[in-house]
Chains A and B, each alone.
Chain A
Amino acid sequence: SQTIHQWPATLVQPVGSPLSLECTVEGTSNPNLYWYRQAAGRGLQLLFYSVGIGQISSEVPQNLSASRPQDRQFILSSKKLLLSDSGFYLCAWTQRNTEAFFGQGTRLTVV
């Protein structure tokens, strides 16, 4: 069966520190991969999506970047965190015309 792993579950980082969140998918090949962010009390904002290795599309300009070094691995990074980067980060995957599966999320607090 397909599963999605996302870690860590919670993270507290100081302003100006780097960030690396990793997401891996099992049980499928060539998935579409997504990173979302949800600020407190708000809806989900699509940050990045990828339809293949090395192919990254950014939805909004921001302090973050994404990479897909392997077919089932999606990484969200930042060189220097801002207070506004705090939020609930979710990784997701889909195959064409099917449902999306979401990870359990990482709650990031920048202090």
Chain B
Amino acid sequence: DAKTTQPNSMESNEEEPVHLPCNHSTISGTDYIHWYRQLPSQGPEYVIHGLTSNVNNRMASLAIAEDRKSSTLILHRATLRDAAVYYCILSSHGSSNTGKLIFGQGTTLQVKP
């Protein structure tokens, strides 16, 4: 399974943009890049995912490098409720079709008021 590398922690001020980086240099052509976040004592919550092109949704934007070896999750205006552990995950959707998500340690985002 291809691995991802994220910083252990990041800090942001409320109402400022946040850029959460992720490196995935061993990504394969069939790997989707997924982002999830987890609040304490809750299951992970889907944020966004993409394959090659940048993606936008109501929660965030995902910027994918042209060589796909890195990506950045962008929260346009951080709020206190965005404080969570953010996981960048590669999910293979090749012939095996397991789509399994292997979680790393993630980035703990702190948002300061």
- Residues 70 to 106 of chain A near chain B (Cβ within 8 Å): 88, 90, 92, 94-97, 99-105
The 0/1 profile, CB within 8 Å of A marked 1, for residues 31-63 of chain B is 010101010011111100100000000000000
Number of A interface residues at 8 Å Cβ cutoff, please give it: 26
Chain B interface, >50% SS class: loop
Residues in chain B near residue A34, CB distance under 8 A: 100-101
- Residues 43 to 86 of chain A near chain B (Cβ within 8 Å): 43-46, 49, 51, 57, 59
Please count the residue pairs between chain A and chain B whose beta carbons lie under 8 angstroms apart in the complex: 62
Verify A46–B103 contact, CB threshold 8 A: yes
Interface residues on B, range: 20 to 34
Verify B104–A43 contact, CB threshold 8 A: yes
Q: Does A32 contact B (CB under 8 A)?
A: yes
Docked complex Cα distance between A100 and B36 (Å): 9
Chain B contact residues, CB within 8 Å of chain A = 32, 34, 36, 38, 41-46, 49, 87, 93, 97-106
Instruction: Show 21 residue pairs from A and B whose CB-CB distance is below 8 angstroms, ordered by the A residue.
Output: A32-B98, A32-B100, A43-B106, A44-B38, A49-B98, A51-B97, A88-B41, A90-B43, A92-B43, A94-B99, A96-B93, A96-B99, A97-B32, A97-B99, A99-B46, A100-B36, A102-B43, A103-B43, A104-B42, A105-B43, A107-B41
